[in-house]
Amino acid sequence: MDTIAAIQNRRAVKHFDPAHKMTAAEEQKLLSLAILSPTAFNIQNWRPVVVKDATLRQRIREASWGQAQVTDASLFIILCADLRSWEREPHRYWQNAIPAVQEFLLPAIEQYYRGKDQVQRDEAMRSCGMMAQTLMLAAKSLGYDSCPMDGFDFEAVGKLINLPGDHVIAMYVAIGKATQEAWPRGGQLTLEEIITTDRF
């Protein structure tokens, strides 16, 4: 499926076949595509947690208003981010760049994030949002359906996955084989209602 078709056909599916198993190659393909998602300064701050343990998934479902996608999806991912990735050996992010680029970007990373907790958190949410969309479009292209998810107790889920103190959870993405089609689109606003040119 091409990119435009994947965008047009991607829907938030609520019912997955719990018996369907994704192959290791399919999972590897999806995750390999996901880490091509963009991040500011190439800091690659996403830290997705792929939850495979059935008992853990059940406990996460209980902390997620009983949403069945948590346990029934073939691939269940908690999209987390490392708030401090910008300072963890940042030379790695630009190791293939020419020296002039490294000399410019490495100090810029430090200046942009140091002491700015809200900027770090905002960046985490942007990065995870872009990875989520990459996962969902890639899944659709590979013949799978998906569901972006919130609606859970972030603190409880953090404890269940031993979330480090300098990480945050952004959202879930559940991927699998749909057993029911998504509802018809609820109602799209027109471009005229949404798009502003130049200024509000």
- Beta strands 167-176 and 145-149 are antiparallel
Residues listed for the chain = 200
Q: Is residue 200 part of a domain?
A: no
Q: Is residue 199 part of a domain?
A: no
Tell me the CATH number at 34: 3.40.109.10
DSSP state of 79: E
104-135 tens-digit pLDDT: 999 999 999 999 999 999 999 999 999 999 99
84-109 tens-digit pLDDT: 999 999 999 999 999 999 999 999 99
Domain count, the chain: 1
Q: Which domain holds residue 190?
A: 3-194
Asked if residue 41 lies in contact with residue 101, where contact means CB atoms within 8 angstroms, the answer is no
Distance of CA 88 to the CA centre of its chain: 21
Question: Which residues make Cβ contacts (< 8 Å) with residue 141, sequence separation at least 6?
Answer: 1, 2, 3, 6
- Please report, in tens digits, the pLDDT of each residue of the chain (200 residues total): 789 999 999 999 999 999 999 999 999 999 999 999 999 999 999 999 999 999 999 999 999 999 999 999 999 999 999 999 999 999 999 999 999 999 999 999 999 999 999 999 999 999 999 999 999 999 999 999 999 999 999 999 999 999 999 999 999 999 999 999 888 888 999 999 999 999 99
Q: Which of 168, 165, 161, 85 is nearest to 125 (CA)?
A: 168
pLDDT of residue 183: 87
